[in-house]
A = this chain, B = another copy of it.
């Protein structure tokens, strides 16, 4: 007996073995369904999965072709920091370094699409007592009327649980540590940091902008 995963694996095998070389059109779903002795929907599920991975290109009428330059899609899981630290077998802690109301600097304002005064919070995340990441957050308090005790729960986590979001973007880059980051993370200024920046927006208003500067040694990993 065979399921759609078996069919996907067999198609994948034929692609890798170059039975179906890059650029060539493979048989139609109907033909494959007959060959494999299953329903067309099952073949469709298998081919759709491979197309989602970028290995096949599908177009109505034109058929299904093996991708010439497969665009690898690497998926990274971006968990809440506490989970990430605990997942490494370390003990999580966080410390709020400062908070105040302030008008965001231009780069933050433009990303959020709002130059209104925001709550600024600086949090150091620790793994086994050592600096793990410095979080720099600007928060629109209009959409978040009541706040938790920041010393008890990470704002990061509280927002995930309590605020409805609509859309967002993530950007990853490498940047030299500025004076503040270097001090908080216990590094020399200019040290290479992996920085992730996230913008989160609600239906109407922007919610928050977060910049996470990770201590050296941090890696994002993905299987392909």
> Hey, which bits of chain A sit against chain B, CB under 8 A?
16-18, 22, 54, 68-80, 83, 157, 160-161, 164-176, 190-195, 198, 203, 214, 216-224
Alpha-carbon distance between A216 and B195 when the two chains are bound, in angstroms: 13
Partner of A161, one of B68, B73, B161, B192: B68
Q: Are B223 and A168 in contact (CB-based, < 8 A)?
A: yes
A202: min CB distance to chain B, Å: 9
Contact check, A194 vs B219: say whether CB atoms are below 8 A apart: no
Q: A171-B220, A173-B220 are in contact. List 14 more A-B contacts (CB 8 A).
A: A16-B165, A69-B79, A71-B83, A72-B79, A73-B77, A73-B78, A74-B78, A74-B170, A76-B76, A172-B221, A174-B192, A192-B192, A194-B194, A198-B224
Out of B83, B169, B171, B214, which one reaches A69, CB within 8 Å?
B83
Distance in angstroms from A33 CB to nearest chain B CB is: 17
